[in-house]
Structure 1
C-alpha cells in the first residue's frame, strides 16, 4: 500500500514538472517573439538613418570631385575632406551598423551550391569569424599548393623513373577542384557580407575550377616517350610550386598592409588586400617580379599545351581547353596587377604633392 502511494506521488510530481516546463517554454517563446517584434520596430528608424547617411557620403564625395575638377577648392583641403568622408564611411560599414546597409546581391554561384539561403551575418563578430576562416583556409592551401606538386615532382624523379602515374596526378587535380571551389564559395560569402574582393579574383577561381574539372578527364599518357608527352604536366606542376611561394608571400604582406589601412580608417575589417597592393616599396620590389614571372610562366605553360596539341603530341580537347584557360587567366592576372600598380602610383604621387604643398604653406 505504501509503495503504491509513493509511486502515485512520484507520478504526480513528474507530471507537474513536465507541465511546468511546457508552460515555461511557452512563456519564453512569447517573450522572445515580443522582443524580436520590438527590436524590428526600433531597428527601422536606424536603418533609414544609416541609408540616408550612406547616400549623403556618396553625394558629398561626388560634389568634392566636381569641385576639385573645376579647381574651385584647394587640393590639400579636398584630400583632407575626402579622407574624412572615407573614415565616416568606414565607421558605418565596418561597425555594428553595417548590417543595416544592403549588402551585395547573393549571386548564382552561391544559390547553385547552397540554395536560397541568406548568408549575410547580422552580427559583426560572425562576419569577422568568416573572414578569419577564409584567411586560415588560404594559409593552409598555400602551403599545400607548394608541397603537393613538389612531392609529385620529387617522386617522379626518384621513384617513378621520370614518368608520372595517372592516379596521383588525378588526386592532385581533384584537390585543386576542391580548393578553388572552397575559395570561390568563401569569397562570394565575404562579398555578400561587405568585403571589397575584386570580381576578377572570383572569376579567376571560376576558371580554375573549370580547368581542374576538365583536367580530371585528361588522360595522363605514359611510356613510350613519356617525358615528351608529360612535358605540359611537368611545367604545370612547376608553375603550381611558384604559385604556392607567391601565395605565402601575398598572405603575409597583405595582412600587414590591411592592418595599417584599418588603423588609418581607410579600409574595413572585412576588406581583403591582395599581394600586389602590399604596403611598402620593399615589399612591392619583392612581390611584383614574382607575380609577373608567375603570370608569364602561366601563359608559357598554356601556349606549350596548345603547341603540343597542334603538333599532334597530345591532341585531346582537354589539352587545348586547359591551354586556352591558362592563357586567359595569365592575361587577366597581368591586367589586374598593372591596374592596381597604376592606381597605387597615382595615389603615391597625390600624397607627395599634398605633402610638398603642406611644407610650402
Structure 2
C-alpha cells in the first residue's frame, strides 16, 4: 500500500470538492434569483391585468355613439387587449401555478408545477403510457374473470380499477396545473368512475353480485378493447395536429369524443355509442335488481352511477358531433362558393380574351397601317 499516492489522490479529491462547493453556491444563488424573478413576473402580470381592466372598463363606460374616426381606434384597442391576454397566458405557462383544491387535499400545499417545457411533455407522455399499460392489464384481468369465478381475482381486478382511477385523477390534476386543456365532463368522468370502483370494491358477494358479475366483466372487456383502439387513433391524430401547429403539446388522449377527434373517426363512433348503450343497459339491469327487497344499497348506487355516466357521455358526444357537422358543412359551402367565384372569374377572363381577339380581327386596313406605323422604330420611320 503506497500512502503517498493515496494522499495525492485525496488532495485531488479536495480540489474537486472545492469546485463542487463553488458550483453549489452558484446553484443556490441562481435559485434565489429564480424565486425573485418569479415574484417580479407575478407582480407584473397582475399589474398588466389591472391596467387592462381599467382600460376595458373605461371603454364600457363611454356613453353615446362612438365617432367614426374613433371607432377604428377602439377596435384596435380591443384587438390589442385580446392579444395581450394571450401573451400573458403564454408567460404564465413558464411560471409555477397553484395546485387546485383536489391536489391540495390529496398532496397538501406542494408545488407540482413543471417549469421545463420538455419535462412537461415527458410527463404527459408518461401519463399516456400509464393509461395504455393499465388498460392492457385490465383487459387481461377482466378476461380471466370471465373464465374463473374466484373472489380473490375479482377483488384484485376491482382494486386495480380503484387504484387506476384514483391515480388518473391525480395525474390529470397535475397535467391541468401544467397547462393541459383537459376539462369538463372527461375529468368528471374519472372522478365518477373512482366512486363507482370504490362501491364495487365494498359490494359483498351474494346473489345480486353473481347475477351482475358476468355482465360487468363483459362490459370491461369491451370497454378495454374500444379504449385501446381509440388510444391508437388519438395518439396518431394528436401527433399530426401538433406537427401542424393545430393542437397544444399538452393535449392528451381521452376516453370519449372530443372536437379535434372528428378527422377519420367515423369508424370509431359506432363502437363508442355501443359502449354508451352498454352503460345504459348496466344501469337498467341494476335498477331491476334494486327492486328486490334483499338488494344491498350498492345495487341502487351503482345503477345511478352507470346512468350518470351514460347521460354524460351521450350528451357530450351528441353536443360535439352536430357542431363538427355544422363546421364541415360551412367549410364545404365556403369551398363551393370559392369554386363558383373562381369559375366565374375564369369565364370572365375567357370572355375578355375572346372579345380582344374578335376586336383585333375586325380592324380596318387603315387602322392596321396606322398601328404598324406607330410601332415602328425611329430608324424605320426615317427610311420611310
Select which of 137, 148, 151 maps to 1:144: 137
* Number of the residue aligned with 2:162: 177
Q: CA separation in 1, counterparts of 2:263 and 2:333?
A: 22
Aligned length: 312
The answer to whether the 8 Å contact 1:99/1:123 transfers is no
Which residue in 2 is equivalent to 1:31?
26
2:196: which partner in 1? 211
- 2:101 matched residue in structure 1: 108
For structure 2, the residue ranges without an aligned partner over 5 or more in a row are: 56-78, 343-384
Give how far 1:154 is off. Answer: 2.0
CA drift at 1:273:
4.6
Q: Is contact 1:180–1:208 with CA below 8 Å preserved after alignment?
A: yes
Distance 1:23-1:347 versus aligned 2 partners, 3 A rule: same
The Cα shift of 1:271 comes to: 0.8
The aligned runs of 1:1-361 (5 Å cut-off) are 23-38=18-33, 93=90, 99-100=93-94, 103=97, 105-155=98-148, 164-221=149-206, 230-274=210-254, 275-277=256-258, 283-312=264-293, 314-359=294-339, 360=341
**2:67 aligned residue:** none
Residues 102 and 346 of structure 1, relative CA distance in 2, 3 Å threshold: farther
Following superposition, the deviation at residue 51 of structure 1 comes to: 10
TM-score, normalised by the number of residues in structure 1: 0.73
Which sits farther off after the overlay, 248-257 or 140-149?
Answer: 140-149
CA RMSD in angstroms, aligned pairs only: 3.8
> Tell me, what secondary structure is at the counterpart of 1:285?
coil
Give the alignment's TM-score, normalised by structure 2.
Answer: 0.69
Contact 1:239–1:297 (8 Å) recurs in 2 = yes
CA distance in structure 1 between the aligned counterparts of 2:234 and 2:18, rounded to whole angstroms: 54
- Measure, in 2, the Cα distance between the counterparts of 1:267 and 1:152: 39
Q: 1:37 to 1:182 in 2, by over 3 A?
A: closer
* Contact kept in structure 2, 1:242 and 1:294, CA below 8 Å: yes
In 1, Cα distance between the equivalents of 2:96 and 2:24?
Answer: 29
